[in-house]
Structure formats: structure tokens, C-alpha cells
A and B are shown apart, each in its own frame.
Chain A
Amino acid sequence: MLILKRRMMSITHTAWMAVMLVGPSFAAESPRPMNFANDIVPILTKANCNAGACHAKAGTGQRGFRLSLLGFEPQEDYEHIVKEEKGRRVFPPAPEQSLLLLKAANIVPHGGGKKLEPNSDGYRALVRWISEGMAYGTDADPKLTGIDVEPKRMSMKIKTAQQLKVTARYSDGSTRPITHLALYEPNDKSMAETTEEGVVKTLDIPGNVAVMVRYSGLVSVFSVSIPLGAPVDQLPATKNFIDQSVFANLKLIGVPPSPICDDSTFLRRVSLDIAGRLPTVDETKAFFTSKEPDKRDRAIESLLSSPDYADYFANKWTALLKNRRDAASDITANFAFHSWVRDSLLANTPYDQIVRQVLAATGTISGNPAVAWFKRVKEPYLQMEDVAQLFLGVRMQCAQCHHHPFERWSQQDYYSLTAFFSQVGRKATTTAGEDLVFHKRGIAQTENKKTKQPVKPAALGSPTLDIPADEDPRLRLVDWMADKTNPFFAKSLVNRYWKHFFKRGLIEPEDDIRDTNPPTNPELLDALEKHFIDSGFDLKAVVRVIAQSHTYQLSSTPNEFNAVDRQNFSHFYPKRMQAEVMLDSIDQLTGGKTDFADLPAGTRAIALPDNSYTRSSPFLKVFGRPESASVCECERVQSSSLAQSLHLMNAADVKAKLTAAGGRAEQITKAEMPEPKRIRELYLAAFSREPNADEVRISETHVAKPRADAQGKPLDSQRSKRLGYEDLLWALLNTKEFLYNH
């Protein structure tokens, strides 16, 4: 190290001599000696030379020339540029003949094409640096300490542009304009675009968008509010703090909200979102007839206290906690773990306690099912990555190999966080593939793979901890997570749950919380976070406050202004039912049954313990039930496909449900009631609403139509009618109104 520094100083000295000889123009332009990290790396970064797909490709670089990702390791880059390959990449006697420049300017054919225009500022700076002897710089050189973007925040009208100005600050108090060298990226490309030169252009969607500005490992944000500017004359009554924040924002950006939805829509929506099922016909009728002024709150309470709530949210969590069936013998561990999550939700165990019991689990799976998580996630670094992403909303994966490109997290942070899991002891049990887990006495530490130095535990943004050998460091980690001042833990959960109900998180993706990805409504996120913490991490309280809000209860039908809104919650964004919910709903509507291996008859798809059922059920597979391989909710495919439409229309399993013995079609055919009432029952079952006159008329006509069998022989009226009802059920379940929560 010392030798390297001396050598650099010597190079710097030579470089100065060279500068004096080359000519006064450079000296006049910048008398300051050049510094590789400050002056050269940003040029390479701006030109994308050190992008992951180019010369920073992991392990190999491109065609033997390797750079660190985004220039996070300038010393290594310096070695590669100046010394590797016997120094053939730079040629001080004729700098412009340096391979580095010939390739960058595509004068010599370059796989990446032309990255630098000859005579551009960057090109000329590189020429100068080479001609000056390729100084690395000295310890005395000023260090980059921060970047500032101006303006930081502003309101921009739709389809307007704004030039940003970015300035770098250095340790000697100096500043430099770096607008042309900084990198720009909006967090929602459907709302804003940026240019290389730092111009931000808004598109035609109102709301909040953030532009991340990056320079040499530092980041800053330009926040834009894009108003629609429509009149907001009427706002629904405010039920709770959610409405205050959402409606205030809508007013600010001029997006008028839709009205509050009707009872039918509300009951169906809230039942699907909390309990993962349609309301029963009886529930719907009772709700319609209830005159209680707080009947919506009561319905929410009833759903929250039902085991359906626990089943539905356990389904969500166990997929994220990777409850995978890789071998037949996993069944016990998987059933136990799924049930443990479900029971914890049923008992409304505080969220911090649930997380504590998973992260710091000890014992055997049979004695403590939370241990099963350690069966699925075996390595300490994977445990840390999953915990960070799932419970903190922080993606640490990048920092394993290099400084996080969009974040403040370094490799040291990565290994410090991993060190909390360094004392997880394991012993084989009588069950193949299952270890028991215990706290292994010892000082918690892990090796930083870069520096090869041991690293002690430190929580994100927190000082290093000296944890005694007898304390399980994981308990310290959860202590930090559950601290009321933790900036990630509660925020991550409320954002995740917000997305569950509103289809879109206040931060998107929901598990990528960082300074450069601000929430669309920061005040609301703060308020939700505070509410959750104040409630003692009460998960039902989060669901309750969201479902009770009038924001949640807005109609999904847009008004003349707010159809364009994607992120301000001016109307409810319809969601396609999840695979399991849809299968259960079809069973509920048709009276069909789905049989699942190893589970009692009548077990619903939302109560399935693991991913093995996704493999065995074409329905669940085609509608995107996840394989529990990732902590990301994105593993669940919620997009639509042709296969889905065809499945609903033609698949044998759906057809079998329509015609099931004792099913809805048979029952309704046999029911002693007039035809319109039967049709009403079907509509209540499918849509939780009454049919309108047209729907009754059309349905009645279809059901009454005479039918013949395959040989053309007329069917008796009962049989014919039953076929008519099967048709009607088929038609109802193939509507968007049925398939969507709206």
C-alpha cells in the first residue's frame, strides 16, 4: 500500500513536469493536478464503461479489460487501466493513441461502440490525464463529500421540462459543476423522462415522481410533483388520518376522487382483501338489510376476527418465507411452519414478535415450527438478505460484491448485517434434511470477502456492536428492528400491506425502500408507520385502519379527470383475484370442490400450506401462484394471459365445477322459487349485488330456452334448465366483474 502511494506520488511529480511541457492551455484551464477518482472515474461512469453489462461484468469484465462496477473501486480500476497488460492501454507519449481512447472513441473497433466523442470534455480530460503521466492522486487531494441537486423539489406541470443543476462538494470546501457527468433516473418512467444532460421531462400522468441523481457512489434526489390541476370541489368525508393525507394530496395536485362505493362493492372488496373469499349470499343479504350506521366497520371487524383472515395472510407470508416443498419429506416441516404463521396471525401476535420468533428461532421444527425458515434459508448471508428485503424493505444483495449503486450500503454494511447470523448453530436431527438450530456460543463476526477482515455485527446505519459470546446476536438484531425509531421495519410492513389493499405501494417496489426511491405520499407513509408502531405492531390494526378509510372505500369507477391517476388513490384500482382466491371463489360460486392432496375435503386454496399444490394444480399455476422461491411478492404473477382466459372458458376442471353433482346449478334448478329469484341468488353469489332488469331478462330467456342432447333429442325441462344455469354460471365467472376485485 505504502509502495503504491509512493509510486503514485512519483507519477504525480512526473505528471506535473509533463503538464509544463505539453503546453499552457491545460494548465491555464485547470492548474489543479488531476485525481483519478475525482476526475477520471466519473467520465468512465457517465460513458457507461463500468456498467455491469460492460467492463464491470462480474468476474470477467469485457475482453480482458475489467473495471469495478460504477467505479466503486478506483484503486483497482487504476491498476487495470495503467498497469495491466504491461500498460498497453495508455500511451503517454501520444495520449490520443492510447488504446483506452482509441476504443472509447471507436477508432479501433469497440464492441461497446463509440462511448466518447473525440474532443468532448471527457475525452479531452482523459487525454490530459494520460499526457500528464496518469496520476492516481495523493492522500492530500480533496475527497468528494457530497452532491447537491437544484432544484431539490418542485411542482411541474404535465409535459413540461426542467434542467437540473448538480454540484459536487469536496473535502477542501471546493465545489464543481457535475451536471454533465451525473447520472439521472426517474423512479417511475411512465411519469417522467430524463436526458443525459440532466433535463427532466414530465409525461401525462399526475402525481409524485423522483429522479435519482448519482455521481461517484453518491446519490441525491429531485422530487417532482405533477399536478393535474383539475377542480377538486368535493371530497368524501374524512374517516381517519389516511383520508386526510390522501385527500390533501389529491387537492394539491388537482385530482378529484371518485365517490365512496356502494355497500355491495364494499362488502365484496373487503371480504376478498381481508378474508380472501367472496361474501356468502347470506352475508350479503344481511349486510344489505342492516341499518347499523357502522355496519362497514362491523363487517371489517367480523372478517378480521375470522380464521379466514389468518388463512389468507398466512398464504401471503409463507410464500415470502419460502415454505417450499422440495422433497416429499418436507411435508411435516412445511405444514408446521405454515400453520405456525397462520396461528400467529389468528392470535394476532404482534408483528415484531412474529419476526423475532422467525429470525431468532431455536430448537427443532416439531418443537418450534419457526425453525423451518432455517431449513429453507441455510446460509447466513442469505438469511440476512431475506431479512433485509422482507422485513426492512432494503435490498442488500448488490452490496455483497460492491457498494450498492443506488444506496448508501457498502460491502462492510453487508457483512456487518450478515454477522448477526454468524452464530446460528445446527445439529442433525432424526429427520433427514432437518437440523435443529441453537445459538452457538462465540463472538459474532463474519469475514468481509473483499477485505478478508472479520466484521462484527452492525445494524443498518448503526454503530458496530460488541455482543458478548453468550448472547444470541439475532436477538440484538430484532431488538434493533423492533425499536420504535427503526426507520425501516414498520415502514416496510405498512407499505407492504398498503399495496395488498391498494394494488400499489406508497413505495414501489414495496421492498425497495431507499432515499432515492421516495414514497409517493411521504406524509401518509409516515402516519401509517407511526400508527403501526403506536399500536404495538398490531397487524390487524393496520388492516383495520386501511379498510375503514374512505380512501379504501372509493369507487373504482373513475370520473372525468382521475382515470389517468396511477398512484394517488383517487379511485380504487381494480385487481385481478389471486390464483387461490379465484379458485376458491369459483368453488364457492359453482358449489364445486377442489381436492388437495393430504388435506381434508373442503380445504380452500388460500389455506394451502406450500408450493407443492401449485405444481399439482394447473389452475393455480396458470393464474400465477408463486413457487415460494423468493422473498419478493413479484414472484406471484398477477398479469393476465391468454392461457388464463382459455382455462376459465374451456378447462376440464372449471367445467367439472359447473356441472358438479350437488353443485350450484343443480341446487338452483331444484330450488322452489321463481326464476328471477334464482337468477338473483346467482348474482348475489357471484357479484354480491342484485341483477338489473336486463340481466334478469336475458338470463331468464337463456335458461328457459329448450335444449336437446347430442343426438338432437329434446331434453326434459329440468335437465334443460340445469344446463341453462350451468351456462349462466359459466358466463358469470368469465366476467371481469367476477374475476376482479373492484
Chain B
Amino acid sequence: MITIISHSITFGMLCAWLVAPCFAQQVTQPLPRLLTVTPMGGQVGTNVEVTITGDSIEDVRELLFSTSKITAKPVTGTDNKFIVSIAADAPVGVHDARVMSRLGISSARAFSVGKLPEVTRSKPNNTLETALALATNSVCNAVMTKRAVDFYSFKGVKGKRVALDCASVGIDSKLTPVLIIADAQGRDLMVNRTSGVLDFTPPADGTYVAKVHGLTFQGGAEHFYRLALQDGPAPRQAATATVSSMSWPPTGLAATAKANETEPNNQHTQAQKVTLPLDVAGSFFPAADVDTYEFSAKKGEVWWVEVASERLGLATDPFVLVQRVTKTGDKETLTDVAELYDIASPMKVTSNGYSYDGPVYDAGSPDVMGKVEIKEDGVYRLQLRDLFGGTRSDAGNVYRLIVRQAAPDFALASWAVHMTLRNGDRAALSKPLALRAGNTVAFEVAVIRRDGFDGEIELGMEGLPSGVTAAGLKIATGKSMGHMIISAAGDAKPVFAIAKMFGRATINGAAVTRPCRVASVEWPVKDATGDIPAPRLMADIPVTVSDSESAPITITASENKVWGAKAGETLKIPLKIAWRNEFNGTSIKLKAYGTGFDGLKEFDLPLKAATQDAVLDLAALKIAAGDYSLAFYGIGITKYRYNAAAVPTAEAALKKAEQEATAAAVAVKTVAATDATALKLATEKQKLADTAKADAAKRLKTVTDAAEAKDTVDIFVSEPIRISVKAVQVTTAAATPKK
């Protein structure tokens, strides 16, 4: 029995609908997901043969990348291999790879491009004896085996630093790598278990061994890594962007800071004298480092402080303390002016309890973004600490500190809404914009507002393929979240385009447009009891429509128009419903997305009802005059059949194979026993025909099993509905002309 709640809605008991135990229920209709691309990258200017695996991907026609500098062609005769061509001028870094499949565009998988020669481990190297020799300044692509240690050998030169760097988490891998450098006998010399990098200076010329394993010795296809051995020191391998980095850098920020911190500056007496505005780079080093900056400020000034460190990809937690300094004789008194901690998440992120009670995406950050109001003329000190830095001495933990006058702005990130199911169901799924014909999906759009910007933000998309429309449900004044509703027409044909999402606002009288990046989880986490979702920002926003399957339900307003009403009225909007699948229960309970309408009391949409009125009590909802967009949504359980169209095709194929096998058997019997050559040929043909028949039967069973109706819970969203609410004309008796 399952009860469904949502991070924005509580649906109450759906138990009455359900008789199937929860394990039999599928969460969300299948979407194409690219799971692995092996090798996970390549060198610029080379061709690489890659092998792919995925979920719900059939008829894969193309392997596509987020840069046009990487292209791929299928390897003839295979359905999971491609030759990837990386142009000589392809940007070095991590790009998104995805495939085009029956259901459309898949979720993305990181694909790295570098300048070093690469190899792919092809046979087990789990012992000292089978160590794979790795040349310095090369990259090895490999997949970790469960409960195993991978061994590599390399030549070290006394005193010559080498950098061993294992990319994993930053390239979508589930591997938490442990790196070990050992002597030629395999005896460990140094280890890193937290960041996947080792800086090693060989004590003598000779052979050394690099070992790699998972922190808890987990392994499997999802635990891939790229091991780079380079002359040290070397920069880290590129990584994907965290969701928190959506708010960095501020628009127009110079690539490098104007100044650097000067140590020693831990003590107040050592404060580094600066003038505002300030843009300084520094590091939380050594352990328990405090960086103290002193400046003068005037009463009434307001300064905005921003620190980036975690958003640069570091495991830090910056904290800013601003104090006013007053002196009586030699005695100095410090008075707290501001304590600036984290950048709050725009919305409640899921707790780590036994079910998700919010999105898994955290657009906030342990970094700092806050305001300092100066109440008195005087001298002030700003101290910057890493709350995680008490015992840690790592010069790589850098930061950038900016103190500026208000530069109001905003940054956006978006992700597909997902359900939260009680009873321990913790599914966090990547949801590529692979739309089924007639489907409408909703994305949450979160905003980080900068320097006091409080205004309304209109949301939109551009570059959508034909047959696909999008409507932004704006982020209201002072709010932190809006929605994007994306719909594919019921008669949409297969299309593909790279779209853009954006937000528009008026800041200080000027129209400002900012891009909105889309985030997704790297892996479909179907049961997160033992798995923690890893979200990241995607490189771009590919959108497709597939006509291989249609949406189970399409909900639209009866007319495509702007629905007008006066403030305080009750607006009735007739909904038109196209039901394509069977649903469990008796109705779907609908609520609404959209500013002002999220308080709408849920109402029933009876199953199979072709129409249903949505009644909006504008007075109760306190909807003021203005233009609005909203979308209705509800959670329902549908009988979903995966790729049902494949069944008759497979049946026909089997029938044909059976006929050919029968014919081949007859042919064997009719061949003259004396003609040995002909008999041999006929027998071989029969054998092939029998194999083909067996394969066809197997395929039929596979597609038939997959096409079995499966209870599938999903969010169903109406197409967006536009409403224009007019102010009520205030009239008085005196003003009304008498007849």
C-alpha cells in the first residue's frame, strides 16, 4: 500500500486505489538513460571506439555530444559501439554524451576530452603480477571490479615528482577512489582516500606500483575511472559542475581576482588593510587559517559579501565575520556587525530520512553571499574562515572573496519535478526531455537572488523543436521558485533540438536575461536506501519528441485562449482529457502549479472523464489583477506497457523464422543422400535457421515480458493555461448615469 506525498503537495491516501504491493510498482514511465560510455573519454585529434550501455534504449541511431567538435558514427554490425571522432580543436574538459533512441534523447553521461594519450584497460590487472604498465603523461580508462584492487606499474625517477589523479565522481562515476603508490613489491608507500590525487616524489629510480580501489571495494560498470599519471605538479582532471555552482560566477566577474591575500593575517593585529570594493583571492591554509581584512566604511553604506570556494568544487565551508573596531586608548573593542554563513537553498531539499520529502537538488551552497550594513563611520574587520579547516592543511583549498556595492542579479537552475512516495520509496530519477507525443512535463526553476534583488522573474525557453511548447510559470516577487511546463503536441513527430531556458527580469529599470541551467541526477536511483543521489548541472538542454509511445493522458483547457476573469470572481475552466492508458482507482486528484494557484484545493478528475471543470475561486485564492499561467497536475497509477509495438513485430519475426526453419528442415530431407556437399550446405542452413528461430523466440519473450502491463506511478501535468484577471471597476452610484 502506498501513500503519496509530494514536496509541494500532499495527495493523501492513494491506498484505496492500490492492491499491488509497492515492489510491483514502477516509479515514472521509462525514459531513455545512457549509463556507460567506455572508454569515458579520449585525446583530442583521435578516433575512439566506444561501447555504450543504457536503460530503455532501443534502436539507438546516434551518439551525440554537447559539443559539435565531437561526433560519432555507429560501428557497422553492432548496436552498442560507435567510433567517436574528437576534433583536434575540441575543447578540453568534460562534455555530455547521449544517445538518440526509440524514446528520444537519453540522459547524459560525462565524456572527457584531454590532451594526453589514452589507453583503455582491456584485461584484469588485480594482482601485482598483472599490473598494467602506465606511461607517464597518459590516461588509463578502466572499470573497477567489486572487491578488487587494480594494479598499475610505472617508472619513477628519483626526485622527479609525479601526479597521480583519478577522475571518478567528477565524471559521473559511482567510484569513491582510493589511490595508493607502492614500491615494486607492492608495499604501500602513500595513500589518498579523499580526493583521488597523489603527489609523489620517487625516493629512488625504479618501478613503482599504483593501486586503485573503491573506498568500500564496490565495483561494477557504474564504477569507472580515468587514471592520469603526469609529471607533477599537474592540474586536476576536469569535472562536471555541481548544482551549487549555478550561482557562480556573478555576471561580468573578471576571471582572476584583483588582489591576493597576504599572510600572516590570522590575528587582528595582522589584519590586511584593504579598501572597498574588494576582489581578493586567498586560501584556507594552513590548518585553522583565519584571513583578516581591515577596511574603513561610512555610516549608511551597504556592502555585499560573496565568497566562492565550495562552488569552485572544494570541500570547504567558508564563514565571514565582520566586526567594528573601536579603540579606547590602546584597548581595542570588537563589536559584531555581521555573521555570514551559507547560501540558503531556494527550497527545502530532501532530508535523508526514509523517503524523499523534497527535491534532491540543492542550489544553495556552504559558500557565503550576504549583506553588511554599516551603522557607524569607522574601521571594520572582516575575518574569513573555513569551518571545515580546523585541522586540515591543504593549500588547494582556495577562495575568492568579493565585497561590492549592491549589484542586484539572479541565477537560475531547473530540474524535473519528481514524486515523493512514502513507505520508504526513495526514487530519484534522471528525466531527460524525451517527450512522448501528447506529454507535458514540469520542471522546477530555482533562483538564487543576489544583492537584494527581489523582483519578479519571467521564465521561458527558446530553440524548442517543432511540436514542443513551453510556458514559464514565473517566479513571483520575493519568491525562490517557479515552474517550466513543457508540452509535446499529441500529433508531434520525432524531432530533436538543443533548447535554452532563461529568466527575464527588470533590474534597476533595465531588462536582464539570465540563462537557466538544467540539473539532473547522474544515475537513476531507484531505491536510495543504500544509494545517495548525485545531482549535477548538465551541459545543455536537448529536447526530443518520440511517437513510438504516447502519453497516457493529455489534459488541456477546452480552448487554447487566455481565460479572462475579474478579481474576486469564480472562474470555471472546462478541461478536456484524452485518456490513452488504463489507470488504477477512480480518479486523479489535481492541484495546480503557478504563482497564486499553489493554494488551490485539490479536486477530483474522475477516470475516463472526457471533460472536467476546474473551478478557481479567485477570491479565496486572493488572486489580484494580472496575467497568470498555471498548470494542473496530479499523481496517478497507470497500466503501462513498455514498447508494446515491438510485440507484433517480434511475433511476425518469429513466424518468419519458424517458416524458414521448417523450410530448411524440408530441404535437408530432400537433398539426395549421395550429394554430400549439398547435404552439408543444407544442414548448415538448417542449423542457422534453427538458431535464428530460437533467437526470435527469445526476443519475442523479452519484448512480451517488457510489454506486460505494469502499474506505473507518475506525475501527470496539464498543458499550461493562461489567465488574465482584471481589476474590478470601482463604481459609485453617483457616477452611474441614470436612465
Contact = CB atoms under 8 A, between A and B. Distances in A.
A335 interface: yes
Interface in A349-364: 356-357, 360-364
A366 B194 contact: yes
Contact of B391 (A307, A336, A362, A438): A362
Contact of B353 (A310, A336, A363, A432): A432
B15 to A, nearest CB: 25
B248 interface: no
Interface in B340-397: 351-354, 360, 383, 385, 387-392
B176 A366 contact: yes
Interface in B139-189: 147-149, 176, 178, 187-188
Interface in A464-504: 470, 472, 474-475
A71 to B, nearest CB: 43
B321 A470 contact: yes
B147 A339 contact: no
Contacts of B288: 472, 475
Given A367-B194, A441-B321, A339 B215 contact: yes
B215 A431 contact: no
B390 A336 contact: no
Contacts of A366: 176, 194, 315
Contacts of A434: 352
B339 interface: yes
A363 B216 contact: no
Interface string A704-719: 0000000000000000
B388 A367 contact: yes
Given A360-B391, A439-B390, A599-B217, A329 B530 contact: yes
Given A335-B215, A336-B215, A343 B388 contact: no
B625 interface: no
A470 B392 CA distance: 17
A649 interface: no
A600 B352 contact: no
A458 interface: no
B102 interface: no
B390 A307 contact: no
Given A335-B215, A369-B193, A369-B194, A599 B387 contact: no
Interface string A180-218: 000000000000000000000000000000000000000
Nearest to B176: A366
Contacts of A429: 352
A347 interface: yes
A367 B195 CA distance: 8
B79 to A, nearest CB: 34
Interface string A313-336: 000000000000000110110011
Nearest to A478: B391
B216 A470 contact: no
B352 A362 contact: no
A331 B530 CA distance: 10
Nearest to A365: B194
Nearest to A437: B388
Contacts of B178: 339
A603 to B, nearest CB: 9
Given A429-B352, A600-B213, A361 B317 contact: no
B351 A601 contact: no
Interface in A245-276: none
Given A335-B215, A367-B194, A598-B216, A439 B353 contact: no
Contacts of A436: 317, 388
B217 A600 contact: yes
A63 B1 CA distance: 54
B191 interface: yes
Contacts of B290: 470
A360 B390 contact: yes
A340 interface: yes
Given A428-B351, A429-B352, A363 B388 contact: yes
A595 to B, nearest CB: 9
Nearest to A596: B147
Given A335-B216, A339-B215, A470-B383, A362 B176 contact: no
B191 A339 contact: yes
B530 A363 contact: no
A306 B187 contact: yes
Contacts of A306: 187
Given A339-B178, A356-B391, A367 B315 contact: yes
A430 B391 contact: no
A368 B532 contact: no
Contacts of A475: 288, 390-391
Contacts of A428: 351-352
B190 interface: yes
Contacts of A101: none
B215 A600 contact: no
Contacts of A336: 193, 215
A209 B193 CA distance: 48
A370 interface: yes
Which has the most chain B C-beta neighbours within 10 Å: A310, A328, A356, A441? A441
Nearest to A346: B188
B381 to A, nearest CB: 11
Interface string B321-342: 1000000000000000001000
A443 B147 CA distance: 47
Interface string A359-395: 0111110111110000000000000000000000000
Contact of A441 (B147, B148, B339): B339
A436 B366 CA distance: 12
B194 A430 contact: no
Nearest to A331: B216
B188 A307 contact: yes
Interface string B117-157: 00000000010000000000000000000011100000000
A598 B147 contact: yes
Nearest to A359: B391
Contacts of B215: 332, 335-336, 339
A343 B392 contact: no
A480 to B, nearest CB: 15
Nearest to B194: A367
Interface in B510-557: 529-530, 532-533
A67 B288 CA distance: 48
B348 to A, nearest CB: 12
A256 B209 CA distance: 50
Nearest to A353: B391
Contacts of A356: 391
Nearest to A367: B315
A436 B389 CA distance: 13
A361 B391 contact: yes
A204 B148 CA distance: 57
A601 B147 contact: yes
A578 to B, nearest CB: 22
A-B pairs with lowest CB-CB distance, top 9? A363-B388, A367-B315, A438-B387, A307-B188, A432-B352, A343-B191, A362-B388, A357-B391, A335-B216
Interface of B: 126, 147-149, 176, 178, 187-188, 190-191, 193-194, 213, 215-217, 288, 290, 315, 317, 319, 321, 339, 351-354, 360, 383, 385, 387-392, 529-530, 532-533
20 contacts: A307-B187, A328-B530, A329-B530, A332-B216, A336-B193, A343-B191, A343-B193, A361-B391, A362-B317, A362-B391, A366-B315, A369-B194, A425-B387, A430-B532, A431-B532, A432-B354, A441-B319, A470-B385, A600-B147, A601-B147
Given A362-B389, A470-B383, A470-B385, 9 more contacts: A335-B215, A339-B191, A360-B391, A363-B317, A368-B315, A368-B392, A428-B352, A431-B532, A601-B147
